[in-house]
Structure formats: structure tokens, C-alpha cells
Amino acid sequence: MSLKSGPTEGLQFEVFRYDASRDEPPRIDRYDFPAGENISVLEALLRIRDEQDPTLAFRYACRGAVCGSCAMSINGRLGLACRVQLRHLHARRIVIEPLPNFEVVKDLVVDMDPFWEKYERVQPWLHATIGGDKESRMSDAQLSKIDQYVNCILCGLCMGACPVLASNPAFTGPAALSKLYRFLEDAREDRSTETLEAEDRHEGAWGCHTITRCIAACPKGVRPTDGIEGLRRKLIKHRLKKVASLGRGPRPDAQPVPAEAPQRREVPT
């Protein structure tokens, strides 16, 4: 519904409610809210909780698009509630739902454990010896390769937007895969190929269908699909390297060539 009749008409919030600890189906609760407030969706939810319904559950911390904890669906679009302003919605009916592709714990709070498990699996830290009496410097060109991925705030919006995760929860997903690329591409990185090889499978780097909804959903301008494509290039190079190294010497399991190889006989046609 368009906000055509002016800011004096009230807004109506429709908020998804569910409690996984209770044997009750999900429902939608409605809350009236004054229009014309120059505030974010998060501030509106805080006011609804404080003034109308203290049982409403949602996550937040920084209120400034930094911590990534207020990711949710707002009128069908995924975003950070602290960043989306009511006046930019241009609607009187505001539908708030939890982040898709995650199990709901309570109302707008989802279970982020699978997200963190996948994130930890790619070992998202620098495997390098840094220190001593010298600074570890990177060139601007080196930095520009990883800069966008450093901006990730781990909000999970890209995971909520991913159509592959919707049908296959085992897919590692855009957040962890692009973070793995960020470290493998870091000029200082010194890790083995183990974490790269671990994503050489259908649920890993090859699972992405390049639909790029993750790019559209990211509030920090990260392009996870680019990182996944970078990982694929690394995997192809890695495979080729392995094949080339096989051709350089005798395979350990190779059979010895007989001293007198049997002669090839021509078969008359």
C-alpha cells in the first residue's frame, strides 16, 4: 500500500511471531505505529517492544550497521533493520519476517549456529607469521584484491538471499566461501591447500548457481559471487598443478616396463 495520504495516517507493523520452545504454529501480530517518524525499522521495533509488547524478540547491538545482528526481511526485502529508514519504505503496511534459510528460535531471532559452523570450517584467519622487527606491508594492488571481503560484517543476509541454500542447506554458502577467498588471496597467507580442497565439491565452491542475489542483499558492497568464482579459478589451477606434477616422475604404484615389450601385430583388413 503506498503512502499517498500523508504522514498523519498511521503505519501498521505486521510481525512474524513464533516460539520454537512452544508447540504452537507461527502467527502474525499487528501493531499500530505513528507515521512520519524519522527513524529506522530497528528503532520502531524497539518502541513497539517497549510500549506495546515486551515479548517481541529480535537481535541488535550496534544500531549502526556494524555488528550485523539485526538482519531480517522488511517488506520482502532483506536488510539491516538499523539501516532501513521507515520513510524509505514508502508504505503504510510494514511486514517484518525473520531471515530466510535459517531456523527460527523466537520471532525474528534465528539460529546462526550453522552459519558459524560453516564460517569456522574455512579457517577465517591469516595463516602467516607476522611480526619481528619488520612491518608486513601490502601493495595497493594486493589490497584491492581483498578489500571488499574485509568489509563483511557477517550479518548473514547473503545466506538468507541464496536460492541454493534454500534447497540445499549443506551448501557452504556465499559468506564463508567469499571469506575463504579473501584469505587465500591475501599476499601474506601461507596456509596449505587443505581448506581450498575441502570446498572442491558440489556443496562447496561448485554449488553456486551464480544467481547473484547475495550481491544484491549485501549491505556492505561485498560481491560474494566474485569470491566464489575466484575460488573456482584457484581450484582449477590447483587441479592442473596436481596433474602436471603427476606427469613429472614415475607414479609410486607404476608397474615396471617389461624388458621386451610384445610386438604390435598389424591385422590385415
Q: How far apart are CA 132 and CA 185, in angstroms?
A: 23
Q: 3-class secondary structure for 172-235?
A: CCHHHHHHHHHHHCCCCCCCCCHHHHHCCCCCCCCCCCCCCHHHHHCCCCCCHHHHHHHHHHHH
Q: Which 12-31 positions form the footprint of ligand SF4 (CB under 6 A)?
A: none
Pairs from 64-71 (Cβ < 8 Å, separation ≥ 24): 65/153, 65/219, 66/153, 67/153, 68/153, 68/154, 68/155, 68/156, 69/155, 70/42, 71/99, 71/155, 71/156, 71/157, 71/160
**How many other CB atoms sit within 10 Å of the CB of residue 70?**
25
Site pattern 214..243 for ligand SF4 (x: CB under 6 A): ---xx-x-x-x-------------------
Site pattern 64..103 for ligand FES (x: CB under 6 A): -xxxxxx---------x-x---------------------
Q: Which is nearer to ligand SF4, 41 or 56 (CB)?
A: 41
When CB distances are held under 5 to 8 angstroms depending on the partner's kind, the choice from ligand SF4, ligand FES, none that residue 108 binds is: none
Q: How far apart are CA 37 and CA 3, in angstroms?
A: 13
Nearest to 179 by CA among 232, 246, 139, 124: 124
In the complex, least distance from residue 188 CB atom to ligand SF4, rounded to whole angstroms = 21
In the complex, least distance from residue 175 CB atom to ligand FES, rounded to whole angstroms = 15
Task: Tell me if 49 contacts ligand FES by CB under 6 A.
Answer: no
Among 154, 176, 180, 208, binds ligand SF4 (CB under 6 A): 154
When CB distances are held under 5 to 8 angstroms depending on the partner's kind, the choice from ligand SF4, ligand FES, none that residue 160 binds is: none
Q: Which 167-206 positions form the footprint of ligand SF4 (CB under 6 A)?
A: 174-175, 178
When CB distances are held under 5 to 8 angstroms depending on the partner's kind, the choice from ligand SF4, ligand FES, none that residue 69 binds is: ligand FES
Among 28, 61, 130, 150, binds ligand FES (CB under 6 A): 61
Stretch that binds ligand SF4, among 15-23, 27-35, 49-57, 155-163 (CB under 6 A): 155-163
- φ, ψ (nearest 5 deg) of residue 60: -165, 165
In the complex, least distance from residue 162 CB atom to ligand SF4, rounded to whole angstroms = 9
Q: Which residues contact 249 (CB under 8 A, 6 or more apart)?
A: none
Q: How far apart are CA 72 and CA 155, in angstroms?
A: 10
Q: Which is nearer to ligand SF4, 96 or 219 (CB)?
A: 219
Residues found near ligand SF4 in the complex (CB under 6 A): 68, 152-158, 174-175, 178, 217-218, 220, 222, 224
Residues that bind ligand FES (CB under 6 A): 60-63, 65-70, 80, 82
